[in-house]
Structure 1
Amino acid sequence: MPRVVVFDEFGGPEVMHVVEEPVVEPAAGEVRVRIEAFALNPLDRMMRAGTSPATVPLPHARLGIEGTGVVDALGPGATGLEVGDPVVLAAVPDPSARGSYAEYTTVPASQVVARPAGLAVTEAAAVWVGYSTAYGALVEKAGMRPGDHVLVTAASGGVGRAALQVARQIGAVPLAVTRHTANRDDLLAAGAAAVVATDRTDVVEAVRHHTGGAGADIVLDLVRGPGQQDLLRAARPGGTLVAAGFLDPRPTPSPTGTPLRVFSYRSFEHTLDAVVVRRMAAFLNAGVRLGALRPAVGEVFALDDIVEAHRHLERGLHAGKKIVVTVQERRDSR
């Protein structure tokens, strides 16, 4: 029978284990995807540890919001796809029940997109969450335009790196924020027009310098916490701040007296909207074809090594590159 990763209690990586479950038939309007690879995301770690914003029912909870594979079966009424089509999961709204850490999963047909040509399986497994979040926050939410100065925090992370590339593809000017000067060359190579390293530089002064005194048109805050106050001051009057991450667990003070548009953003706001997903997929395909969008993949693990993969994630050894797990179907798994 097919393998799936589950956990029955909250805790460290060791709470996860691989079990076998029968193949599930896709319901009306759904497709079953044979997973070839999936990527690890911060939300996976939060769900496993019991700290995610959404409730995770125990026992036998699953993980995984990102992955790629091949359509294996179509449910009644599922259209636009055929068995054998290579796809990317565009949304897994109920990962605790149908997560991608498995040999098979079922999702609505509207929540998969064609796998971009030119991506390896490991890259396709790691492409959607980062780029759809960056595109949704910057283009759909903030209305990013060519020439905009875009300040990106946590720029060394998966979403941050994607945001630098998305901004470049639009024709905007991405300014990367990092805590460590040592990340400067890597971020410039990843697409940043300039790097603000907070271990040596004041954010507000640096942004003023790089924008001719005007301030950033758009700020993508992937951290939140008290540091957001400096980001607000670094933005130009009338600019936009989009808060799309939770890396700092400390409270974020409410913006006061700031002539900015301030939005909170979560990717499911758009990845559950089929119309926006089509735009995201078109943008992603164009970027991959032009060589402008490319996910950075780090360590690759096998499904049976999922605990070690999460330990690698917890130790922060991936340096902003996505950790990918490959899934090799066993001949007797059906």
Structure 2
Amino acid sequence: MSITCRVVRFHETGELDVLALENITVEDPVDDEVLFKVDAFALNRADVLHYQGFHTTLPDFPSRLGSEATGEVIKIGANVTDFKVGDRVTSIPFNTAKYGVQGEYALVPQDYLTKAPENLTIEEACSIWMQYSTAYFALFHVGNVKEGDFVFVPAISSSAGYGCFELAKDAGAMVIGSTRTSAKKDDLKKLGIDHLIISSEESVEKRLMQLTKGEGVSFVYDPIAGNFCNEYLDALSMGAVVIIYGLLDPNPTPYPLVPLIRKKAVMDAYSQFNHVEDIDKLNECKAYVLERIKKGILKPKVSKVFDFEDYKKAYEYMLSNQQVGKIVVSITHKQ
């Protein structure tokens, strides 16, 4: 039996006004699919790139949106073995245009779901996987970050930046964050970020070299790219790895051949979508993150919660760059 529900959808790429709440029919799950009633979903910069047409995943019109949601399982496909009706689940981002979770109901393959951790709120539970899986594969599969390494995290007030901070610090690295202005400085200090650079007020390169006592940083987790790369390239240590995972600077990102050669460094065009397709690696990530959430080592930071009807205000808030942590939209289901 199919279900009619409201979802966030778009029929062409463009700015925020291409998004609309529309009624659609959600079919029953087949094979390994799980259908769940969404209680809350989280916003990500990847969602903005998706509706603008700049994401690596191209939309299949009319396209649903979103990859992180939490809710209750109501139906399962014939091949589903990991979940049952009534389970509370949370979804993991993956690279497909077929699925989207921003709406009253969502359909997701079982590999890209986990049980929602019992020690998290609904809003926190839908805020886990984009930030932690993106950072996990970057830190440990690409960057090989280990205890004692110096890690630089620009835009550390974002959920992705904060997730990297938590994972790297747990691994024993010294984490240095940056933020553009001092507006979020106090909030970031309260979150335990001791080493913070205000990039509009001081030299990023000089502060990185001071904080690392001249050694330089061995890993950079950069969502800005563009011209910002030039602010830290001369503060890399030998053999450093630079992860470019975002496009906050709209300017083209030049390939800095000479600075990279000087430091025997690597600049990686990175997406977690290229890693979660490997189910063995994905399961490794799930176990690692969930164990640390259970122990209280990791805890998603929720910046602000919006009502479903105000989802565009949620996106406007994201685009304003005021948030420290994740932006979540809560859904109240009418009986």
TM score, norm. by length of structure 1? 0.92
CA-CA distance at 1:43 after TM superposition: 1.8
Question: 1:98 is paired with a residue of what secondary structure?
Answer: coil
Q: 1:321 aligns to what?
A: 325
CA offsets 1:46-72 (integer angstroms, 9 cap, x no match): 2223343443233x2211111111222
Identity %: 30
Gaps of 5+ in 1: none
Distance (Å, rounded) in 2 between the aligned partners of 1:310 and 1:24: 28
Question: 2:68 is paired with a residue of what secondary structure?
Answer: coil
Question: 2:327 is paired with a residue of what secondary structure?
Answer: strand
Matches within 5 A, 1:217-256: 217-256=218-257
Q: Is the 8 A contact 1:123 1:295 kept in 2?
A: yes
Distance (Å, rounded) in 1 between the aligned partners of 2:183 and 2:318: 20
- For residue 69 of structure 1, what is the amino acid of its counterpart? G
Q: Which moved more, 1:307-316 or 1:72-81?
A: 307-316
CA offsets 1:238-266 (integer angstroms, 9 cap, x no match): 12211111111211111313211322210
Distance (Å, rounded) in 2 between the aligned partners of 1:85 and 1:14: 35
Distance (Å, rounded) in 2 between the aligned partners of 1:151 and 1:140: 17
Q: 1:74 aligns to what?
A: 76
Q: Which has the higher contact order (CA 8 A, sep 6+)?
A: 1
- The aligned length equals 328
Q: Which moved more, 1:29-38 or 1:179-188?
A: 179-188
Q: 2:130 aligns to what?
A: 129
Is 1:293 the equivalent of 2:298? yes
CA-CA distance at 1:209 after TM superposition: 0.9
CA-CA distance at 1:278 after TM superposition: 1.9
Matches within 5 A, 1:186-265: 186-257=187-258, 258=260, 259-265=264-270
Is 1:283 the equivalent of 2:288? yes
Q: 1:47 aligns to what?
A: 50
Q: Is the 8 A contact 1:11 1:50 kept in 2?
A: yes
- For residue 92 of structure 2, what is the amino acid of its counterpart? A
CA offsets 1:292-313 (integer angstroms, 9 cap, x no match): 2222212212222222222222
Q: Is the 8 A contact 2:57 2:95 kept in 1?
A: no
Q: Is the 8 A contact 1:240 1:262 kept in 2?
A: yes
Q: 1:307 aligns to what?
A: 312
TM score, norm. by length of structure 2? 0.91
Q: Is the 8 A contact 2:157 2:179 kept in 1?
A: yes
Distance (Å, rounded) in 1 between the aligned partners of 2:277 and 2:92: 8
Question: 1:9 is paired with a residue of what secondary structure?
Answer: coil
Q: What is the aligned counterpart of 2:26 among 12, 23, 28?
A: 23
Matches within 5 A, 1:1-12: 1-12=4-15
Q: 1:38 aligns to what?
A: 41
- For residue 129 of structure 2, what is the amino acid of its counterpart? W
Question: 1:226 is paired with a residue of what secondary structure?
Answer: helix
Question: 1:144 is paired with a residue of what secondary structure?
Answer: coil
- For residue 58 of structure 2, what is the amino acid of its counterpart? T
Q: Which moved more, 1:11-20 or 1:36-45?
A: 11-20
Question: 2:27 is paired with a residue of what secondary structure?
Answer: coil
Q: Which moved more, 1:294-303 or 1:113-122?
A: 294-303
